[in-house]
């Protein structure tokens, strides 16, 4: 049997990530696929919140290890878990890089994993607007050694999609909702579902209350009142028919309402069936105006910035000039200009002052 090319494998995994966001029983299959391309022994998801117990899901062959880890709150005494929960990560990282050798030896989580035959860990931590933190963890068998950069790069390619799926999965507590209406209610976000042609099929009350932002159009369609945002929104809907487009679109603040980020998530496979044949979930997350500099992982999740682009954006938002920001992150000014042009395109801004104002409006996600 011919092996699927790696880019096709990644494309297929992205499709399944959005399917699993609404059909939690599919997460082990998605994790296994991501493990296969990164030469991992297994993958796991943890949803950590101050308001509810930690929830976790992993691949079937390591379920007993996860059960032991969660039993008796062992995870609370793990330095590796504490470090990953508190770190502001813009990408997947090697967990060992955040710990001393002595801490690794004493860590109860690592002791159990080593006894099971598991060695190197990589992790990313993604903050959710509701205060939850979603951790995606991948591990290798001891015999396979540490993660190389190529494997981490593959996982980083999936990270923006995992972040968006985590936005939904975290709110649903990794449990499958039974109907489209109950899903929209449980998400707790202004949300609507649309057909591939852009027709609104149903929306929750939070979304309907935003009539000054989302405008009805002919044939049960929808537009965004902000013209630049609407241009991106209509383009995304059109592209979704063929390309499974995923977009996060910034919407400028208007009188009486803070800035927003509108997320378009494709509904595929089982998720398509759950939503009675709908093709797109539209969710809006409000952001406030503030002076706090956002963390790189928030910017990566909202606007699909690469780790390098997100680091540059954070330095600019903190008040540095482009030249100073380039020096701070250790790149040439020419490279910084290239990154900045990409950031402009992804955030739909055209001036550095406009970009900084938008980035600072995302402080409540941090």
pLDDT number for residue 80: 87
List of the chain residues with pLDDT < 50: 1-2, 173-178, 181, 291, 363-366
pLDDT number for residue 165: 85
> For the chain, which domains are there?
6-171 (3.30.450.80), 180-286 (3.30.450.20), 296-365 (1.10.10.10)
Q: How far apart are CA 267 and CA 17, in angstroms?
A: 10
The phi-psi region of residue 188 (left if phi > 0; otherwise alpha if psi is between -120 and 50; otherwise beta) is left
pLDDT number for residue 366: 38
CA distances from 181 to 199, 216, 224, 353 (A): 17, 20, 23, 41
Q: For residue 254, give the nearest of 282, 302, 213, 303 by alpha carbon.
A: 213
| Residue linked to tokens 């938002």 | 317
pLDDT number for residue 181: 45
The predicted-structure confidence for 262-320, as pLDDT tens digits, reads as follows 888 887 766 665 665 578 888 887 765 554 566 676 676 667 788 888 889 888 888 89
Q: How far apart are CA 167 and CA 140, in angstroms?
A: 26
DSSP state of 293: P
Contact criterion met (CB below 8 Å) for 200 and 220: yes
DSSP state of 319: T
pTM: 0.56
Q: Give the CA angle between residues 42, 15, 190 to the nearest 5°.
A: 105
pLDDT number for residue 257: 77
């Amino acid at each position: 049997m011919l092996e699927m090319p790696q880019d096709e494998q990644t494309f297929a995994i992205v499709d399944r990530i959005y399917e699993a966001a609404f059909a939690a029983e599919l997460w082990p299959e998605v994790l296994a696929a991501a493990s296969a391309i990164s030469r991992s022994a297994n993958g796991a998801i943890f949803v950590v919140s101050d308001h509810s117990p930690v929830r976790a899901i992993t691949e079937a062959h390591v379920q007993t290890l996860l059960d032991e880890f969660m039993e008796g709150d062992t995870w609370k005494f793990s330095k590796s878990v504490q470090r990953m929960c508190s770190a502001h990560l813009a990408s997947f990282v090697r967990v060992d890089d955040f710990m001393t050798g002595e801490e690794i030896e004493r860590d109860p989580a690592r002791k159990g994993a080593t006894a099971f035959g598991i060695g190197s860990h990589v992790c990313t931590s993604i903050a959710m607007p509701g205060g939850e933190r979603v951790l995606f963890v991948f591990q290798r068998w001891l015999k396979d050694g540490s993660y190389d950069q190529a494997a981490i790069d593959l996982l980083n390619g999936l990270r923006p999609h995992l972040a968006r799926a985590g936005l939904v999965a975290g709110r649903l507590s990794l449990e499958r909702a039974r109907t489209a209406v109950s899903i929209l209610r449980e998400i707790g976000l202004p949300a609507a579902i649309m057909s591939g042609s852009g027709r609104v099929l149903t929306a929750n009350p939070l979304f309907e209350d935003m009539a000054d932002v989302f405008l009805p159009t002919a044939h049960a369609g929808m537009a965004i009142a902000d013209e630049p945002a609407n241009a991106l929104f209509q383009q995304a809907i059109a592209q979704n028919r063929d390309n499974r487009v995923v977009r996060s679109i910034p919407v400028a603040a208007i009188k009486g309402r803070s800035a927003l980020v509108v997320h378009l998530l494709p509904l595929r496979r089982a998720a398509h069936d759950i939503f009675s044949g709908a093709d797109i979930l539209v969710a809006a997350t409000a952001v406030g105006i503030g002076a706090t500099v956002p963390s790189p992982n928030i910017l990566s999740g909202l606007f699909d910035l690469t780790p390098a682009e997100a680091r540059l954006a954070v330095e600019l938002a903190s008040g540095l000039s482009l030249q100073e920001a380039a020096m701070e992150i250790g790149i040439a000014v020419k490279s910084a200009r290239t990154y900045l042009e990409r950031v402009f395109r992804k955030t739909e801004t055209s001036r550095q002052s406009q970009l900084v104002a938008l980035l600072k409006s995302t402080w409540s996600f941090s």
